[in-house]
Structure 1
Amino acid sequence: MVCSTSASVARRRGWRWAALLFTVSLLVGCAGQAPTLPTQQAHTLVVGAALEPPTMNPSASPAASIPQVLLYNVYETLVKMDAEGNLKPLLAQTWDISTDRTVYTFKLNPAAKFASGKPVTAQAVATSFNRIKTEAGIAAPLVEQMAVVKATDVVDDHTVKVTLTHPSNLWLYDISSTAGIIYDPDGLATLDTTPAGSGPFVLRAWNKGQSVVLAANGGYWGTAPRLDTVTFRYFADPNAMNTAMLAGDIDVISNLQAPDAIDQFADTSRFTVIQGTTTGEVVLALNNARDSLKDVKVRKAISMAIDKQALLDTVWNGKGTLIGSMAVPTDPWYEDLTSINAYDPAGAKKLLAEAKATDLSLKLRVPTIAYATKSAQFVESALRQVGIKVTVEELDFATWLKDVHNGGNYDMSIVAHVEARDLRRFTDPDYYFHYDNAEYNKEFEQADEAASADLVPLMRKAVRTLAEDAAAVWLFDLPNLVITKSTISGVPQNAATLSFDLTTIATR
């Protein structure tokens, strides 16, 4: 830039005065215009994912794709579960538990505020908790998790007291997830499209069928995120997601849906491959309300007809863990129960004959998710070998949620249940498993209410009851297979929560 005013002054008054004005001219510019200064590079992230949220309201649907995007990023909870499964303070700075373990007193962080600028108060906590118990249209799993709450009382602006009907070892973990989200009370009417949270990000755009875009919350009350914008981009075809990653169009594959392609990302100068575990039990769900599946011998036979190791090798490239019941390796009560109802096709045929179910025909309805559709083909073939005719029907996820999960219109299905420590699902006969076992319910309740020292052995007993009664068939624990560009850091090895937590991630 040449500025004639500075040049003329320099000639008249000497080089020092000229140097001073030349410096000023760089700051002010000619003709009174502000100069163009170097700007800091924006930190953006594009995350490839398989399933789009059906709504932006985490309390209205059990779909895990909602908290994947919103939990801990846009919405926050009183306490947060870290990647190792430990509870940490978030909106609550501290909490105390009464000696009888039924009263929880939370002290809120006085700095906490919603994206609207309004403070996070004890009244906001009470409103958020109470609406789960009183409002119509709340997702059933959240209602179940909060059923133990007797009352939520405001002590003062930053203190809230929650009273339970009985002690619960799982409740504090439950409220670290979707059930414990604290909503801005002024935004409750528009949650389906406009989140009302207190997190480090806000929703910038929801391009239905394509992407969800988050932007950093400039007024965030806590530590600012290291990313300016994050786009969750959705792919129905796992191979298309892999191609986008190889082409550099996305920065992260949130969970590899084609594990046989993992070798494509072996170049460590370009990619980082993260392998760990998740809370996602891939379950062959059995509709226990169907007459054909009420006999435990039939349910056991279905499990015994399936070679789970061969299924894992075929469907998911050997990645993952065989589990045998509704517990995963990161659960404190996990134990390998794969020997129960293990692969034994001859034994399966014998049980079917004893149950007089030698001409069994079942419908297997699965969502169009890679692990589910691939597993369905394997299951169909395995059951055909023992004389069970299976008709496979693939459904888009929205239809699966409506017809199978919510409507119970199925004989068998396959989906990963990714919510942490979700054994409670089997205590509800109205849940889509339609499992009703008084013995199991009693064992689960005893474990949940027990002294902490007795929790693990009692919960193991309940988990074993599920396996022995063949309440479902557990195919494998879904692995955490994340691919990132080599410039990305902070992605945890294990997925211990429903959140794809952006607060630890950075890009350079």
Structure 2
Amino acid sequence: MRVRRTLSVIVVLLTAVLLAACSRPTPLPTGDGPDPRVLEIGATGEPVGMDMITVDGAGIPFVLLYNVYETLVKLDPDKNVQPLLASDWEISADRLTYTFTIDRAARFADGTPVDAEAVVHSFQRIIDGEGTGQILADFAPLTEARATGERTVELELATPSNYFLLALTTPAGSVANPEASIASLNTTPAGSGPYVLGDWEPGSLVQLTRNTEYWGTPSHFDVVNFRYYADPNAMNTAMLSGQLDIVSNLTVPTALGQFESDERFEVLQGYSDGEVVLTYNHANEALANQQVRQALNLAVDRQAIVDAAWGGQGELIGSMVPPTDAWYEDLSDVYPHDPERARELLAEAGYESGLTFRLRVPTLPYAPPAARSIQSQLRAVGVETVIEELEFGVWLEQIFAFQDYDMTIVAHVEPRDLKMYAMDGNYMNYENPEFTALIEAADRGNDDEFVQLQSEAARVLAEDAAANWLFLLPNIIITTADISGVQVDQTSLSFDVTTIASSE
């Protein structure tokens, strides 16, 4: 498998360095017409670059996917695959050849047609081995992309893959203008979407402006400002004081009441794919022992973690599958809270005298409070943890790239990310042949086999105590009362503004 050491797209509500201004920003007049319609969105997890193919981090597709870059197909709110750049497609009987017909109206922002050669150019970059670990894993089955006509492209797979069509809806499937140099894409995106990149002020703002040459249905807003906040309370204050139209994900759930009781706002509560995970580094000798991992899982009261870290908002899940996936099974009771049994397992594993682990977590809203609660609970069964809080960039380098940790806490938000535990070079250093075989068989199988084997794989992972899945992040969005069209469930990595409108 062509997978680099860098891992899956993760996020984790990474914070930036902005405090809100004292008043709502005033849009600049155009000089020859009405003022532009501006959408102000409060966000965390700012992009660290603009090239979704080579730069890790969910902050990039959050802003660019579907808004600036488009894919052949797109996930709708119900996780069904719908046409986007492709007007239609066919899959061969052996499921090895995908044939896409590109919409004849599709154009890049500079007016260049989106044709088959443009798709081949974008995908060949990944076939040739350029991309993050997740990107390369998503396209691992793809062996060839070829243009068979001006608007027809064929994708050849080495093996059948149930994941592949979904992969085409993700950053891996984005199509960039081949007229743009690869080197420029990390600062200047070149897509076909309804917006183009305007101002980018690292630490504070990513601005999207209307693509006046957009080939599809025009968007409602002329300018979309994603504004980033170091302090989530400052973002809430900005919303309450009228500086924002949307809080893209409420990261202080205890503040929910002040919005619910104010008729100026609408509160949208849905699912996300964000599994908050207490991750174990299986390269650690003690954590490679299944009995130790089982003991740690039994020692932790996950509901207490939800209460401490996320104000009681969040669903217990027990494995790496959210309830919106067809193969979801509630596995939250596989390891119920049982400190006495945890102590017994530690003794059986030879650690009756105790253990000490480094718990290195990013400085994100949920991670430090979850770590402190876990520290207290593990101490009760004789396990000490040394907590170290890291800025996200440091965490990404030391934990993700170099696996310098024993345990960590992070939220994984990519759709259908169960398979990450079977990836070569995964940052957990987890290997389980039974699990990997189930994942590979599920990917090759028919629709029914896919669901059944995915479900079996999730249970194997849970019973092996490969990690401790603490809870699923809720998707809590705050909007002003005039805003409509916001997707309630976060089913992709995109905060899709193409459907959002205002009655004002």
Fold equivalence (TM over 0.5): yes
Please identify, of 86-95 and 264-273, the stretch whose mean Cα deviation from structure 2 is larger. 264-273
Classify 1:329/1:151 alpha carbon distance in 2 versus 1 (closer, same or farther; 3 Å).
Answer: same
1:412 aligned residue: 407
2:433 aligned residue: 438
2:223 aligned residue: 229
Equivalent of 1:475, from 470, 473, 485?
Answer: 470
Alpha-carbon separation, structure 1, partners of 2:208 and 2:418: 32
Percent identity over the alignment is 47
* Structure 2 residue 63 is the aligned partner of structure 1 residue 69: yes
Alpha-carbon separation, structure 2, partners of 1:59 and 1:294: 33
Partner amino acid, structure 2, of 1:184: N
1:117 aligned residue: 111
* Structure 2 residue 425 is the aligned partner of structure 1 residue 463: no
How far residue 61 of structure 1 moved from its aligned partner, in angstroms, is 2.2
Alpha-carbon separation, structure 1, partners of 2:102 and 2:424: 37
Equivalent of 1:81, from 75, 82, 85?
Answer: 75
* Structure 2 residue 200 is the aligned partner of structure 1 residue 206: yes
RMSD of Structure 2 on Structure 1 (CA): 1.4
How far residue 135 of structure 1 moved from its aligned partner, in angstroms, is 4.3
Partner amino acid, structure 1, of 2:152: T
1:170 aligned residue: 163
Partner amino acid, structure 1, of 2:494: S
Equivalent of 2:363, from 363, 368, 378?
Answer: 368
1:402 aligned residue: 397
Partner amino acid, structure 2, of 1:426: Y
Does structure 2 retain, via aligned residues, the 8 Å contact 1:268–1:486? no
Deviation track 1:477-505 (CA, whole Å, cap 9, x = no partner) reads 11000001111111121110110000110
Alpha-carbon separation, structure 2, partners of 1:117 and 1:464: 50
How far residue 453 of structure 1 moved from its aligned partner, in angstroms, is 2.1
Deviation track 1:115-160 (CA, whole Å, cap 9, x = no partner) reads 1211111111111111112144x21011011111121111011000
1:286 aligned residue: 280
* Structure 2 residue 446 is the aligned partner of structure 1 residue 451: yes
Alpha-carbon separation, structure 1, partners of 2:185 and 2:437: 37
Q: Secondary structure at 1:186's aligned position in 2? A: coil
Q: Show the 5 A alignment for 1:149-168.
A: 149-168=142-161
Equivalent of 2:348, from 347, 351, 354?
Answer: 354
How far residue 314 of structure 1 moved from its aligned partner, in angstroms, is 2.2
Does structure 1 retain, via aligned residues, the 8 Å contact 2:127–2:143? no
Equivalent of 2:294, from 274, 296, 300?
Answer: 300
* Structure 2 residue 311 is the aligned partner of structure 1 residue 323: no
How far residue 448 of structure 1 moved from its aligned partner, in angstroms, is 1.1
Equivalent of 1:127, from 121, 129, 154?
Answer: 121
* Structure 2 residue 239 is the aligned partner of structure 1 residue 245: yes
How far residue 113 of structure 1 moved from its aligned partner, in angstroms, is 1.0
Structure 2 segments unaligned to the other structure (5+ residues)? 1-29
- TM-score normalised by structure 1 residue count: 0.91
Structure 1 segments, 4+ long, off by >4 Å, are none
Equivalent of 2:496, from 487, 491, 501?
Answer: 501
Structure 1 segments unaligned to the other structure (5+ residues)? 1-35
Q: Show the 5 A alignment for 1:35-50.
A: 39-50=33-44
Alpha-carbon separation, structure 2, partners of 1:363 and 1:38: 61
Alpha-carbon separation, structure 2, partners of 1:310 and 1:359: 23
1:94 aligned residue: 88
Does structure 2 retain, via aligned residues, the 8 Å contact 1:54–1:398? no
* Structure 2 residue 133 is the aligned partner of structure 1 residue 140: yes
Q: Secondary structure at 2:303's aligned position in 1? A: helix
Classify 1:205/1:439 alpha carbon distance in 2 versus 1 (closer, same or farther; 3 Å).
Answer: same
Q: Secondary structure at 1:293's aligned position in 2? A: coil
How far residue 41 of structure 1 moved from its aligned partner, in angstroms, is 4.3
How far residue 37 of structure 1 moved from its aligned partner, in angstroms, is 10
1:484 aligned residue: 479
Deviation track 1:340-362 (CA, whole Å, cap 9, x = no partner) reads 12211111111111111242111
How far residue 247 of structure 1 moved from its aligned partner, in angstroms, is 0.8
Q: Secondary structure at 2:187's aligned position in 1? A: coil
Does structure 1 retain, via aligned residues, the 8 Å contact 2:127–2:144? no
Partner amino acid, structure 1, of 2:303: Q
2:183 aligned residue: 189
Alpha-carbon separation, structure 2, partners of 1:96 and 1:249: 47
Which is richer in helix? Answer: 1
Number of residue pairs matched?
A: 472
Partner amino acid, structure 1, of 2:163: L
How far residue 464 of structure 1 moved from its aligned partner, in angstroms, is 0.4
Partner amino acid, structure 2, of 1:389: E
Alpha-carbon separation, structure 2, partners of 1:219 and 1:79: 21
How far residue 253 of structure 1 moved from its aligned partner, in angstroms, is 0.7
Q: Secondary structure at 1:292's aligned position in 2? A: coil
Deviation track 1:37-60 (CA, whole Å, cap 9, x = no partner) reads 994342111111111111011112
Q: Secondary structure at 1:350's aligned position in 2? A: helix
How far residue 292 of structure 1 moved from its aligned partner, in angstroms, is 2.0
Alpha-carbon separation, structure 1, partners of 2:35 and 2:200: 24
How far residue 168 of structure 1 moved from its aligned partner, in angstroms, is 0.8
Equivalent of 1:380, from 365, 369, 375?
Answer: 375
Does structure 2 retain, via aligned residues, the 8 Å contact 1:428–1:434? no
Alpha-carbon separation, structure 1, partners of 2:66 and 2:474: 22
